[in-house]
Amino acid sequence: MELTNISVGVSLSMVVDGLKPVTYLELEYWFRVGLRNGSFHRLKKEQKGLLRACLMLTRRVGAIFSEVVVAQLRDIFKTLKPILERALEAGRRRAEEMFKYFKRSGVFKWAPQVRLWLMDKAYMLYLGFMCLNEPSRYYYEA
């Protein structure tokens, strides 16, 4: 009885201190999502190997608690996300930035319709695709 309490206490403290552990079901879900939407081929060989090794490990152990490995797996999950989810997430971030800037500069006083645009899901999706397709900017110091 005490052993289960100790092991539960350790796992709970690991969840509080670091990232949430990755379970077998979560790994299997993201593996299948990546295969279905074709984003699995975009992963590097090391990332594919890590994902498969973690799948085999969690099938036996149950979960991965290492903060380093969990952080690497979360980056892989971001790559495996479907394009619509990534675009909506990027659009939501961009809409929040624009909302703060417009509120500070007083745009909503003379253009109240802009506030509704920034809350519209279709407009957020548009902003997200614009952000994802935007060329990266390089700054050179002279």
Q: How far apart are CA 118 and CA 122, in angstroms?
A: 9
Inter-CA distances, 54 with 15, 41, 93, Å:
18, 18, 31
- Please state the pTM of the whole predicted model: 0.63
Per-residue pLDDT at 22 exceeds 70 = yes
Which sequence spans correspond to the domains of the chain?
Answer: 2-81, 84-132
Return the percent helix, strand and coil in the chain, to nearest 5.
Answer: 80, 5, 20
Kindly report, residue by residue over 25-76, the tens digit of the pLDDT.
999 999 999 999 888 998 999 999 999 999 999 999 989 999 999 999 999 9
Query: Cβ distance 50 to 94 under 8 Å?
Result: no
